[in-house]
Amino acid sequence: MSRKDWNVVMTKIKDELSGLAKFIDRTRQGLDSIETTVKMGTEKFPEASCQLSDVTGDLENAANKIMNTVEEHLSDQERTGALIKALEEWSANPSADPGKGAELAKELAAINAKGKESMMELFALMSFQDLTGQKLKKVIGSLDVVEKKLVEIALSFGIDEAGLNASSEPRKAGNVVINQDVVDKLLKELGA
């Protein structure tokens, strides 16, 4: 074998070994990312699930309380209508039952006070929306972090926009516009 042939063979071997080393490095980085993502997933997904359960429970409790309060308010409105009618009838001849007007007014005042209290309770119950929004933002943030890590892993293994061809160079997730279909396909393949 001539020196020239030997150099060609050595260059090919070096190129193959270099390519193999790059592949091993990408694989190692991908495995490190997978380990980090799995760890993050085991922390974030149960937390997200718990928070979603809390939000669901909060929404259900608040909705039930709001409906009960509104039902009571509607019942009180019917009673108020009946009391006003009785007060109108009494006012036509107050001397027939002099104490009845005061009784009707007292009952109307009690219903009015209860109505004001129930409106304050409704206002307080509606404030849960702010807390619910905060919890949902936290859950969405946790899921976004895991999703981005999964996409980074896919990109580090060279998955392109079609999700089929492997590239020779790893890409940085920060420089790549990611197609949502690719993300959805990747998550589906991972069982998410």
pLDDT at 115: 94
Q: Which residues contact 125 (CB under 8 A, 6 or more apart)?
A: 62, 65, 66, 69
Q: How many of the other CB atoms lie within 10 Å of CB of 145?
A: 14
Domain count, the chain: 1
Per-residue pLDDT reduced to its tens digit, 61-111: 888 898 999 999 999 999 999 999 999 999 999 999 999 999 999 999 999
CATH code assigned at 57: 1.10.287.500
Q: How many of the other CB atoms lie within 10 Å of CB of 109?
A: 10
How far apart are the C-alpha atoms of 155 and 120, rounded to whole Å? Answer: 53
How far apart are the C-alpha atoms of 174 and 172, rounded to whole Å? Answer: 5
pLDDT at 188: 64
Q: Is 76 helix (H, G, I), strand (E, B) or coil?
A: helix
Instruction: State which residues form the domain around 12.
Output: 3-189
Per-residue pLDDT of the chain (192 residues; tens, 9 = 90+): 678 877 887 788 888 777 777 777 776 666 566 566 556 555 666 677 777 777 788 888 888 898 999 999 999 999 999 999 999 999 999 999 999 999 999 999 999 999 999 999 888 888 777 777 787 787 777 777 777 777 776 676 665 544 434 444 444 444 445 566 666 666 666 555
Q: What is the pTM of this model?
A: 0.48
SS3 content of the chain, % helix, strand, coil (to 5): 85, 0, 15
Q: Name the residue among 149, 141, 175 with its Cα closest to residue 29.
A: 149
pLDDT at 94: 92
How far apart are the C-alpha atoms of 70 and 89, rounded to whole Å? Answer: 29
